[in-house]
Amino acid sequence: MSSNFPKDFLWGGAVAANQCEGAYLEGNKGLDISDVVVVGADRFQNIKLEIDESKTYPAHEAIDFYHRYREDVKMFGEMGFQCFRTSINWARIFPTGEEEMPNELGLQFYDDLFDALLLEGIEPIVTISHYETPLALTQKYNGWSSRKLIPMFEKYCEVIFKRYKDKVKYWMTFNEINNAIRLPFLAAALDITGIENWMPLAFQASHNMFVANSLAVKLCREINPKAKIGCMLSLSNFYPATCSPKDVFETYSVRRRSLFYSDVMIRGEYPGYAKRLMKELGAEIEILDGELELLKNYTNDYLAFSYYRTATIHAGQEIEFNTGGGVGLENPYLEKSAWGWPIDPLGFRYTCNELYDRYQVPLFIAENGLGMVDEIGEDGKIHDQDRMNYLRDHVQAMEEAILDGCDIFGYTWWGPIDIVSAGTGEMKKRYGFIYVDKDNEGNGTLQRTKKDSFDYYKKIIETNGACLRK
């Protein structure tokens, strides 16, 4: 069976530290922003910047990956993973963001984790900031709206680039950076409580993050010229509800609110439409001397993105966003997941092509997956056929995109082991090929069990995707 995937294609899975590690105060870790978010679909409303003992916080224990990663990594190895994307929790390294010296226990934890991965032949792919800004930086400076965070981030990057120079070849700066204007607390550590027009702050935060991104690229090139450093965006896509030119143009404009981010970080400059948008939204951002040159000179090596679904929208619609992207109208051509996310593999091929046409830089699929309710069958096993179908259809769509000419160098399934949902804090919304015994209330033994999809993905990896050829 011959494969259409490049021979060194990287297959694997992706998680974020805050959604799996738990041990939220262990090893001298400081609180990060995800530690104060409670369970529930409205978890980003009325955020309190402190812990309320009467509430439940899923990230505090999560799936206890902090203590159990050896067992989990072994199972990833058994599936044949060639890479594993996780984040370093910034608050493990600099508990309040402002310490003079990094926290050795935090650094040691990631040393051990990366060693365990490498021992299994798994390349660590590391997100530097995945919704884990130290909470103190929101309390003191309102997160990335302040440029004070830039040198702190730079120092954090320098520490980890030097420390993991021989272990990590692939970096990503900010997870889903374009969510700064959609989910500002998570993506930009920005508390917008009580601020009526928060868009100017969110655009300033985005600019500060662009500068930080370029400084990270610069440092990475100096410290480890062989490493690759990407930017990472949420790029689930949009369709116009009708062929009315108004719907089509509005859809394009909404899309460009995302592509604005990759335009800056891949092409190296603010596009004209973004300047106009900011003006219309009253966002007069501060740009210091030399910053535009920095953005121009230090662009990312590759574009990583998450793709879950498409949303159908029409002109004038107020669009809500959640972790999967925009929430649209009913699309009669698509089935939906139990959480109402439209399932659209062709939209995935479309998105890969759209991005490669626009940028001609290597693409990395950093997240793709299906959150569903898993039932344990009478035989004690989990037959997750819907997940396997989603995986099959999206891998086939990616193969088509490669045949279309897109340069895609890797694919990491979101949540290869069940983890806490970023959008709702639930355990019930499972993505894993490995089941974790824990429920929404926090009960369970945390025991790990393979689902049917485990062997299915293993086969895909083993054959470099060829087993799915139509």
Active-site positions? 176, 367
Q: What is the DSSP string of 430-456?
A: B--SEEE---TTS-S---EEE-HHHHH
Binding site for ligand BGP (CB under 6 A): 16, 19, 175-176, 234, 306, 323-324, 367, 371, 414, 421-423, 429
Give min distance, CB of 384 to ligand BGP, in A.
16
> Of 174 and 270, which CB lies nearer to ligand BGP in the complex structure?
174
Give min distance, CB of 421 to ligand BGP, in A.
4
**What ranges make up the beta strands (E) of 334-388?**
363-367
Whole-angstrom distance, CA of residue 227 vs CA of residue 224: 6
Give min distance, CB of 223 to ligand BGP, in A.
26
Give min distance, CB of 105 to ligand BGP, in A.
25
Q: 3-class SS at 414?
A: strand
Residue 249: what are its φ and ψ, rounded to 5°? -70, -40
> Of 429 and 451, which CB lies nearer to ligand BGP in the complex structure?
429
Which bin fits 451, alpha (ψ -120 to 50), beta or left (φ > 0)?
beta
Cα separations in angstroms, 313 against 242, 252, 266, 325: 9, 10, 27, 12
> Of 59 and 107, which CB lies nearer to ligand BGP in the complex structure?
59
> Of 421 and 464, which CB lies nearer to ligand BGP in the complex structure?
421
> Of 58 and 80, which CB lies nearer to ligand BGP in the complex structure?
58
Whole-angstrom distance, CA of residue 233 vs CA of residue 308: 12
Angle at alpha carbon of residue 12, lines to 11 and 15, rounded to 5°: 150
Question: What are 297's strand-pairing partners?
Answer: none
Q: What is the DSSP string of 79-98?
A: HT-SEEEEE--HHHHSTTS-
User: Are 308 and 369 a contacting pair, CB within 8 Å?
Assistant: yes
Give min distance, CB of 187 to ligand BGP, in A.
9
> Of 240 and 324, which CB lies nearer to ligand BGP in the complex structure?
324
Angle at alpha carbon of residue 266, lines to 260 and 261, rounded to 5°: 20
Strands 448-450 and 434-436: antiparallel
Give min distance, CB of 124 to ligand BGP, in A.
17
Closest chain position to ligand BGP (CB)? 423
CB within 8 A of 83, min separation 6: which ones? Answer: 10, 11, 12, 122, 123, 124, 125, 170, 410, 412
Give min distance, CB of 372 to ligand BGP, in A.
10
Give min distance, CB of 324 to ligand BGP, in A.
6
Give min distance, CB of 19 to ligand BGP, in A.
6
Rounded to 5, what percent of the chain is helix, strand, coil?
40, 15, 45
Q: How many CB atoms lie within 10 A of CB 73?
A: 21
Whole-angstrom distance, CA of residue 51 vs CA of residue 57: 9
User: Are 18 and 89 a contacting pair, CB within 8 Å?
Assistant: yes
> Of 155 and 429, which CB lies nearer to ligand BGP in the complex structure?
429
User: What tokens were used for 298?
Assistant: 């230090």
> Of 219 and 391, which CB lies nearer to ligand BGP in the complex structure?
391
Whole-angstrom distance, CA of residue 209 vs CA of residue 202: 10
Whole-angstrom distance, CA of residue 38 vs CA of residue 43: 6
Q: How many CB atoms lie within 10 A of CB 270?
A: 18
> Of 155 and 451, which CB lies nearer to ligand BGP in the complex structure?
451
